[in-house]
Amino acid sequence: MNIETNNDENISNTSGEDVTEKNKRANNSYAPQFVNVEDNEIVHQKNPPLHLAILVASDSEEVFDVPRYKDEYSVNGLEKAIEKLRCVAYMWQAFTSEQMNRQGFGRRTFRLEECWLEANSNFRCFNYSAGAMLHEIGHCLSLTHSPTGIMSNGYQNFNRAFVSWEPGRRGIAPSEEKGAHWHRFDCIRFRYHPCFRLPNDAIQYKKLIDSPTFYYTQTGVTVKSESGIILVEYWIDNKVKCYKDYSSDYLDEIPNELLISMKDIGRSNIHNKKLKVNIISTNCKCTTIEDLAGFIENRNPEYHRLHGTFYRSYEVGLHGLEVEKHDTQPFSVIFKTAISRIVLYGGTFFNGFKIVFTNGHESKIVHPEGDNKRVLSFYNNDSIAKIYVRASTWIDGMEIELKSGVKSGWCGGYGGELYILSPPAHHQIVGLYGTGKKDHWLDSFGIKYVKKSDGSGVAVENVPASEMNVTHIPNATNKPSYYNVNENHNANAILGNSP
């Protein structure tokens, strides 16, 4: 470790699947194998490490506080601080490895950057230092706050993961560890994090960095990520009520597209409570809709005489801004006839584009000028299949791909998060919308789409035990696991009152 000086909660599986059996199957890929220890270590060293540092002020005496009764004989200098932090870091590794194994993901943990190799209230001090710091390490590794465990306030009992007793309590069993655990959905995120990969992992990771996107349709809200969706979290009143585990050791079993039915979206309005949804993909990217019912209400279907009823996607961009106070103007375009070509303009950011139709008409969007220009021509009735967008506070850059596979080439900058906007299954793109500053750049962007004229749809898979009708679009083979985070195992409390 290069230190620089400058209980497994009780979860109910409401799909009816035995959690123990699920974990056994997950552990099959970790059965004993003949592995060269030296090769194994070399592979492990390729994982990105966790770097620890101690910051020392320029006027520091390079000592840390100790209890008064230890003042006379304790060693509390910088070297001792480094030794203590190194020891705590090894405990973090051991603790995480055990928690991941309990959840069926094998003994995997993060790597530390190493220099090769070199009965009172004290336990509470340990919890509020080592435990709280591990909580912050969790944030560094993509975790959010969880219902229980280290990422809640469980770090206050961190000592119970390592000792069999504490003052006033004898015989601490695993069931009494309380918050001294990683929550199940913490471990799901860890499973796919680059820091936790093992040499014998069966899964082949996609090298994609796209964030999940949302799409409203007649049957509900479709969620998509080409990287693969591993976790869906449902929150009410800032508490996780239910989560769905799509994790698998095999990439072809991880869905790229899910459907949340209108039935469940309607149930989320019970007692006027907002339903927040987090979607996490295999690359640990997370996209959030703060109010799912509000998302739909603001995207009421519109009607066009040529295309009929059409819908609008999740709008990327304008993150962190109060839109009403932002100097930006909306734009909207419907493809009334076939497209001849699209010209994209950009520079440091994405400025705008010009759409030229086969009848000679043109649509100019925001600021169709810039140093970086891309021309995408359409042949043989080709159409837009997907649009790659990098966005955060504004639209940084964009690339358009046609159904024939032809791409425009990247136009604009490379900041922000990557989103891939493509219509839900059995739909097609018929327009674009968003906002932008006149003579400047795009601030936000989305697509408009309609159901294809052949009338095909997406079947919704009913799961009576939880009535949470979130399903795979056909092409995924595994059945998702539903978990209720409440200790009373009340599956119907998912969208009801808090206990």
DSSP string, 331-345: EEEE--S-EEEEEEE
Q: Which two tokens stand for residue 133?
A: 């710091």
Of 106-110, 262-266, 374-378, 400-404, the poorest mean pLDDT is in: 262-266
Number of residues assigned to the chain: 499
Mapped onto helix, strand or coil, the DSSP state of residue 370 is coil
Strands 111-112 and 49-50: parallel
Mapped onto helix, strand or coil, the DSSP state of residue 475 is coil
Q: Answer left, alpha or beta for residue 371, where phi above 0 means left and psi between -120 and 50 means alpha.
A: alpha
pTM of the model: 0.67
Give the pLDDT confidence of 42-76 residue by residue, as tens digits: 445 678 888 888 888 988 888 877 776 665 567 77
Residue (of 232, 241, 329) closest to 287 by Cα position: 232
* Residue 177: predicted pLDDT: 78
List the domains of the chain with CATH numbers.
12-196 (no CATH), 203-296+464-499 (no CATH), 301-458 (2.100.10.30)
The CB-side HSE value for 363 (13 A sphere, CA atoms) comes to 20
- Nearest-5° Cα angle at 327, 322 to 333: 100
Between residues 372 and 482, which one has the greater pLDDT?
A: 372
* Residue 284: predicted pLDDT: 87
Hey, which bits of 218-285 come out as E strands?
A: 220-224, 229-236, 239-245, 257-261, 276-281
Of 30-39, 65-74, 128-137, the poorest mean pLDDT is in: 30-39
